[in-house]
Structure 1
Amino acid sequence: MLTWDKLASGSAITNGELRSKLYDKMERDLDENGAAFLKQGETSQSLSLSDIFTLKDGSVTPVLKAANPPVRANVLYLSTAYSVHISEAVKHIFNPYFDKAIWFQNSSLYHFSMFHASHHIAPVPANEDEIEAEATAVHAVADVLCPLKIVLDRVVLTSTGVLLGCWQVISGTDPIAIRAKLRTALPNAPQKQLYDAAILHTSFARLLGHPTASSMEMHKTSDEVQFFHDLVARLNNKIRGFEAVVSELWYVEEYDVLALALDGRMKVRRFQLGCQ
C-alpha cells in the first residue's frame, strides 16, 4: 500500500499510472482468489457478508448494526446527473441473472471514499465539539479543492463480490492530494486508512450469491468465474469511458456500519469544492 510519505517525496511515476497499476491488480483478484463471496467470504472492509446482508425469501435485506462510535467518513459525491445512467446500465446487465441475490448501491449515494476521521477497525471517539471542529476543518479543505473531471477507466468485480467503478482523473485536484490535505486537517484520524492513497473508486453493486442455474445453462457454461467476467465485459463495453464532474466533498457521520453503502442512518454535511 502506498503511504502519503512516499508520495509526498515525489516520483517519476504519475498518479494516473499508480491508479492503473492498482486497477490491474484489482482486476486480477477474481482469478487469483476465486469467487469468495459465493462461500460467504469477507467483504472489502474485513466484514463477513453474513454480517451485512441476509437473504430472506430470496430477497436481500441489509443488516443495519449501530456503529459505536459512529464512523466519520470523508467522501467525494457523484451527482445523480451521472450516477443514474451508470446504475441503470448495471441493473440492466446484472439483474436478469441474479434473481435478487444482488445488492445495488443507491444511485443517490454513489461516492468515492477519501479519508476516515474514525473507522470500525481503528475507532477514534469524539464529542460533539470535536466533531464540529472536524467538519469545519474539512469544509476549509473543500474550499481549496478544485472540482474533478473524471473518466471511468474500467469496471472490476472483486473476489468479495463487489462491483467497482475505477476512475481516472482528467483535471482537478488529484485524490492523492485530497487525502494528504485531509490527513493534515484531521490529525487525530487513524494512521491506517482503509484504502490506497491513489484510488478513486465507487461501489456499484454487491453480488451475494450464485447466478441462476437457468442463466448459466443459457450461456452454456458451468464456469461461474468466466460467466462473471463476461458480464463485467458487457458492462465495460457499455459504460467504460463515461465522464463525470465531481464537485462536492461530504463529511458523513455513519450511525450504522456501512451506512453509505447500505442506506443506513447517517448525518451528512455537504461542502462544495471551491477551488480557491
Structure 2
Amino acid sequence: MRGGGGGGGGGLRSPTGAGRGAMSPRRRRALARLGILLLLAGLIWSTQPNKRLGARRQRAQRAASLDPALKDTWEADHLPAACEAELAAVLPGSSPARHNANNADNANNADNAEANAAAANPTLARSKLYGKFARGVAEQGLAVFGSDAGAATTQGLGLAALFDFHPESGKVTARLARLDVPVRAVVLPLPVRAPAAARLHQVVRRVLGEEFPPAGGTRGRGDSVWYQDPAIYHFSVFHASHHLDAHAASAAEAAAESAAIRAVARGSCPIEAVVERVVVTPAGGVMALWNVQGGTEPAELRRRLRHALPHAPAKQIVADDVILHTTLARLLRPPPAPRGSAGESADSGGSGGSGGSGA
C-alpha cells in the first residue's frame, strides 16, 4: 500500500516538474482576479481626494448661503493650496459687489438692490438678518437693563407693561391687558409633539438657568427668566389687527378674513425649517431664528396674506418679511455680577427691589 502510494505520488509530481514554464488555467484566473482587485483598489484610492474636496466644496457652498460672517469659520479649516482657488469661487464675500458702481451713491437703488437680492436668495437674506440680531447684544449690551431701559421695548411694551413682580417672593406673572379691539394674528404653530420644541425648551432652560440664576424678592429666589410654554411655540406671520394699529371688524368681516386666510393656506406648501441660531436681543428676548429648507417662502406667504387682507395694518408687528422666528423666553433681571466685583455688592443689597424697578 505504501509503495503504491509512493508511485502514485511520483506520477503526480512528474507532470508538474516537466511543465514548470507553463501556468495552469486556474492560476491564471486567480492572478487575473487579483489584478482586477488591485486595479479597483487603486481607482478607489485615487478618487478619495476628489471625494474629500467635493465634501468640502459642499460645505463651503452651504456656508455661502448663510451669514458671510461664517467665512472666517470655514477659512479656519486650512486646506491644501490647490483647493484655495476652487473654494474662493463659492466662499461668501470672495466676489466683488454686484451692484452698479455708477449708482453706488443712490440710496434708493441700493435699497432696491438689497430687496432684489433678498428675493433672489431669501436664505442668505435671512441669515444676514440673523447675523445682525446675533451682534445686537455685543454692540448694544442688554439695553433692557441699562440706564435707558424704557427705550428697549417689545412691540412698544417694556418689562413693566408685560410683567408683575411680587415684592416678597420675586415671582413673576404676565400682565394681561384688555384690548377694546382684539388682536387678530396669523401664526404658524410649531407642532406640540415636535422634537424641536422639547429640545429648544430643555436647552434654553438649562443654559439660561446657569447664566441667570434666581434673584429678587426678599429671599433672592425670584424669577430671572420668563419661559414661553413650548406647547404654544409659534411663528408670527401677519396681523389683521394689533395693539399698535387696531382695526375693528364685525363678525361677518372676521369670518371673511378667516375664509381668506384659509384660502391662502390651501394654496401654500408646508414650510420645512431648521434652527440656524438662538439669540438674545438687546430688549431681552430669547429667539430661535429659523432658516427654510423647503416649502412656501415666508416673504411670499406674507405677500399673499397682504393681498388677501387689504385692510390689515400697513405697519406690521413683524417688520422683516423674510424672518421666521420663535420667542422662547424673556430675560427679567440682569445677570449677576462677577464674585468680588463692585457691581455684586451694589446689586446684592437691592436685589429684591431691583426686580420690581427693573420690570
Instruction: Classify the TM-score, shorter chain.
Output: 0.7 to 0.9
In the alignment, structure 1 residue 87 sits paired with structure 2 residue 213: no
Correspondence 1:74-223 to 2 at 5 A:
74-80=186-192, 81=194, 82-96=196-210, 97-99=212-214, 100-195=223-318, 196-212=320-336, 216-217=338-339
- State the Cα distance separating 1:148 from its structure 2 match: 1.1
Q: Distance in 1 between matches of 2:308 and 2:341?
A: 52
In the alignment, structure 1 residue 52 sits paired with structure 2 residue 181: no
Give the equivalent residue in structure 1 for 2:128: 21
Q: Deviations over 1:22-59 (max 9, x none)?
A: 11111121122221222444332111110011221211
Structure number with higher helix proportion: 2
Q: Which amino acid aligns with 1:34?
A: G
Give the equivalent residue in structure 2 for 1:64: 176
Q: Which amino acid aligns with 1:144?
A: G
Q: Distance in 1 between matches of 2:112 and 2:256?
A: 29
Taking structure 1 as the reference length, the TM-score comes to 0.72
- State the Cα distance separating 1:101 from its structure 2 match: 1.4
Correspondence 1:2-17 to 2 at 5 A:
10-11=116-117, 13-17=120-124
- State the Cα distance separating 1:78 from its structure 2 match: 0.5
- State the Cα distance separating 1:68 from its structure 2 match: 2.2
Q: Distance in 2 between matches of 1:193 and 1:150?
A: 22
Q: Which amino acid aligns with 2:187?
A: V
Give the equivalent residue in structure 2 for 1:264: none
- State the Cα distance separating 1:95 from its structure 2 match: 2.1
- State the Cα distance separating 1:67 from its structure 2 match: 2.1
Whether the aligned pair in 2 keeps the contact of 1:98 and 1:210 (CA below 8 Å) is no
- State the Cα distance separating 1:212 from its structure 2 match: 4.0
Taking structure 2 as the reference length, the TM-score comes to 0.56
Whether the aligned pair in 2 keeps the contact of 1:154 and 1:166 (CA below 8 Å) is yes
Question: In structure 1, the residue corresponding to 2:333 is in which secondary structure?
Answer: coil
Question: In structure 1, the residue corresponding to 2:157 is in which secondary structure?
Answer: coil
Structure number with higher strand proportion: 1
Q: Which amino acid aligns with 2:202?
A: E
- State the Cα distance separating 1:98 from its structure 2 match: 2.9
Question: In structure 2, the residue corresponding to 1:117 is in which secondary structure?
Answer: strand
Q: Deviations over 1:91-120 (max 9, x none)?
A: 121124331211001101101111100111
- State the Cα distance separating 1:203 from its structure 2 match: 0.4
- State the Cα distance separating 1:199 from its structure 2 match: 0.4
RMSD (CA atoms): 2.3
Whether the aligned pair in 2 keeps the contact of 1:153 and 1:168 (CA below 8 Å) is yes
Q: Distance in 1 between matches of 2:179 and 2:204?
A: 29
Question: In structure 2, the residue corresponding to 1:66 is in which secondary structure?
Answer: coil
Question: In structure 2, the residue corresponding to 1:147 is in which secondary structure?
Answer: coil
Q: Distance in 1 between matches of 2:251 and 2:213?
A: 43
Structure of greater Rg: 2
How many residue pairs match? The answer is 215
Identify unmatched segments of 5+ residues in structure 1.
225-276
Q: Distance in 2 between matches of 1:144 and 1:6?
A: 28
Identity %: 40
- State the Cα distance separating 1:221 from its structure 2 match: 8.3
Q: Which amino acid aligns with 2:139?
A: E
